[in-house]
Amino acid sequence: MSSPSLPKDQNAQVIERDGVITLKRIPVPQPSPTQVLVKIHFSGVCHTDLHATDGDWPLPRKTPVVGGHEGAGTVVAKGSLVDDSSLKIGDAVGIKWLNSSCLDCSFCVRGDESLCPRAELSGYTVDGTFQEYAVADAKHVARLLDGDKTDFAALAPVLCAGLTVYKGLKESGVRAGEQVVIVGAGGGLGSIAIQYARAMGLHVIAVDGGAEKGESCKKLGAASYVDFMTSKSVVEDVRTASGRERLGPHAVLLLAPSEGPFRQATEYVRAHGTVVLIAMPAGAKLTMPVFDTVVRMVTVKGSYVGSREDTAEAVEFFRRGLIHAPYKVVGMSELQGVFDAMKANKVVGRYVLDTSK
């Protein structure tokens, strides 16, 4: 089922080989029986898209592949097995990093779809959302639901950045009133993490570099800001920000694609606290002293995007008006410039691509 007015080809940003992404004309894809075709209005640019383009992760990528995995848009066609009780033409939906998963394995059945050994990843193992029309499994697209009122550009970053940090905060086990350090707080994941943390009643200590990011973090609700570029010791400054007794924060969300902050976090986290690894700097390793980790009872854990239920919850925070993270809209043709700014740590918040430009 599809609307008759669909074009045959379209613009897309295609990763052609490591380090090279190019704006091209390619065919509009057809949905398989279990997929929907989504007209992508806006797609956020995540640092993961830069890792995918550079090919710097130990995970095989399809080549060529259309990048992007924060696509917000409207269903324009459906496979024969997608009935109206599931999704209708015109529904507002989001395509996420998890393009599909088997829904049958032990992980999928428990709602840990991101751990599915048969998961397909948008903009990585299958074509993503840096195109005007993209396909995804009907069971996996995020339901955005508000129809005409949907703010697609503002919602795009919720689909990866928002979901990932919301899940990371849940995984950290912090409770309302406790302290969380957000490392990389001025970037895409970090800015929205401050908003989720505030909405969850947490006290936020932000870490990033430069005055502009500091101002943005404070405006979003961080109680204090540690500038890693000027600080003599990030470990000491975070401890000081955690209060008079300098016990350290209850949890840390590591969102900066750089190795140094991982070690620092294990040093400043409070005893019995939790360090959540989310950023994936190329080739990074984490070593920590066994003695300290034992006697301070520190937990270190990874957190990887989130399930369909986590997605629905993250979207619901947005729908309730609790999430206002900064974003700038530019045309999809300007992606390379966004990547260059991201590499230089110059992006405050998120860039969102308008796929029609």
Ligand X SMILES: NC(=O)c1ccc[n+]([C@@H]2O[C@H](COP(=O)([O-])OP(=O)(O)OC[C@H]3O[C@@H](n4cnc5c(N)ncnc54)[C@H](O)[C@@H]3O)[C@@H](O)[C@H]2O)c1
Question: What is the contact surface with ligand X in residues (CB under 6 A)?
Answer: 46-48, 51, 160, 164, 183-184, 186-190, 207-209, 213, 228, 255-258, 260-261, 278-280, 303-305, 342, 345, 347
108 touching Zn ion, by CB under 5 A: yes
Reduce the DSSP state of residue 255 to 3 states and report it: coil
Cα–Cα dist 182/87, whole Å: 36
For ligand X, the closer CB: 67 or 261: 261
From ligand X, Zn ion, none, interface partner of 299 (C-beta below 5 to 8 A by class) = none
Identify the CA nearest to 68 among candidates 89, 91, 47, 54.
47
Instruction: Tell me which DSSP letter residue 131 carries.
Output: B
Binding part of the chain for Zn ion, among 71-79, 103-111, 316-324, 348-356 by CB under 5 A, reads 103-111
CB of 81 to ligand X, least distance (A): 29
Mask of contacts with Zn ion, 170-189, x by CB under 5 A?
A: --------------------
CB of 33 to ligand X, least distance (A): 29
Binding part of the chain for Zn ion, among 108-116, 122-130, 143-151, 252-260 by CB under 5 A, reads 108-116
H or E segment and range at residue 341: helix 335-343
DSSP string, 211-224: HHHHHHHHHHT-SE
User: With left for phi above 0 and alpha for psi between -120 and 50, is residue 316 left, alpha or beta?
Assistant: alpha
40 touching Zn ion, by CB under 5 A: no
For ligand X, the closer CB: 154 or 160: 160
Instruction: Give Dmax over CA atoms of the chain in angstroms.
Output: 67
Residues 6+ apart with CB under 8 A from 34: 79, 81, 82, 137, 138, 139
From Zn ion, ligand X, none, interface partner of 95 (C-beta below 5 to 8 A by class) = none
Cα–Cα dist 55/18, whole Å: 5
Buried b (16+ CB within 10 A) or exposed e, 161-189: bbbbbbbbbbbbebeeebbbbbbbbbbbb
Cα–Cα dist 325/195, whole Å: 7
CB of 254 to ligand X, least distance (A): 8
Tokens, residue 335? 């992606």
116 touching Zn ion, by CB under 5 A: yes
311 touching Zn ion, by CB under 5 A: no
35 touching Zn ion, by CB under 5 A: no
CB of 148 to ligand X, least distance (A): 29
CB of 177 to ligand X, least distance (A): 25
For Zn ion, the closer CB: 102 or 288: 102
115 touching Zn ion, by CB under 5 A: no
Q: Which of 66, 158, 159, 160 binds Zn ion (CB under 5 A)?
A: 160
What residue spans of 95-232 are helical by DSSP H? 106-109, 152-155, 161-172, 188-199, 211-220
Identify the CA nearest to 268 among candidates 317, 231, 221.
231
From ligand X, Zn ion, none, interface partner of 101 (C-beta below 5 to 8 A by class) = Zn ion
For Zn ion, the closer CB: 131 or 224: 131
Residues that bind Zn ion (CB under 5 A): 46, 48, 101-102, 105, 108, 116, 160
